[in-house]
Amino acid sequence: MKQPVKLYRYFYWQGVQYDYDSPEGMTLHEKIEDEEDIDLPVTTDTVTSDKLIRIGVFTEDQKTDNHIIGNVDSSFNRIFIRDTEFDGESYATSIHIPSGQILSADPKEIGKLIIQVKSVDSAFYNYMLEYEKYKSDFRKMPVSQLESPTGNIKNGLGIFGGVYKNEKTFYYDELD
């Protein structure tokens, strides 16, 4: 996933925080430095958006269950690997993300890349696999022929399951 971020530059003067990038803030900063002869530091921080942009990933790993969703050379939202493939041991694989999805041309989508590896129970795994197939088929088939994913909530929709998540964050975009 990609999470947009923007730079926020600010400074403090007499205990008050000012936005350096606002016209008023920049003018005040220059005025203080010139008239007061003070070197007033500007702090830069990143502010993350609540928006998450799902990006497609590719894998050449033939042991994945992604063949249930579509061609293995297709882009996927998630890569599915059953525990029976590695029986709780280490498992090496690779994913590929097109550089056009990592480096943003649109300034509103400059941000950080988040890669999540999740370990889930079998009920949740099967539900998410069915859900991904459903989403993929939604674009190809009439709605009347689609089978909704089945959950494990009695008389309800959805799924109850446990998840362990390991997350890595990468910055590729230039944050000016």
pLDDT of 4-21, one tens digit each? 998 899 999 999 999 999
For residue 113, the model assigns a pLDDT of: 93
Rounded-to-integer distance, Cα 55 and Cα 48, Å? 17
Helix (H) or strand (E) holding 142: none
For residue 99, the model assigns a pLDDT of: 85
At residue 138, φ and ψ (nearest 5 deg) are -55, -35
> Cα dist. 3→51, 106, 153 in Å?
6, 13, 31
Residues 151 and 157 sit within 8 Å (Cβ to Cβ): yes
For residue 88, the model assigns a pLDDT of: 82
For residue 145, the model assigns a pLDDT of: 67
What are the tens digits of pLDDT across the range 17-33? 999 999 999 999 999 99
Instruction: Find the mean pLDDT for residues 62-86.
Output: 86
Instruction: Find the mean pLDDT for residues 26-45.
Output: 92
At residue 77, φ and ψ (nearest 5 deg) are -80, -30
pLDDT value at 169 more than 80? yes
Could you tell me the two tokens for 94? Answer: 């690779």
Task: Please report, rounded to a whole number, the percentage of residues in the chain having pLDDT higher than 90.
Answer: 42
Burial class (CB in 10 A: 0-12, 13-18, 19+), 71: exposed
pLDDT value at 146 more than 80? no
SS3 89: coil
Ranges 34-43, 77-86, 167-176: which has the least confidence = 167-176
Instruction: Find the mean pLDDT for residues 28-51.
Output: 92
pLDDT value at 138 more than 80? no
Residues 75 and 58 sit within 8 Å (Cβ to Cβ): yes
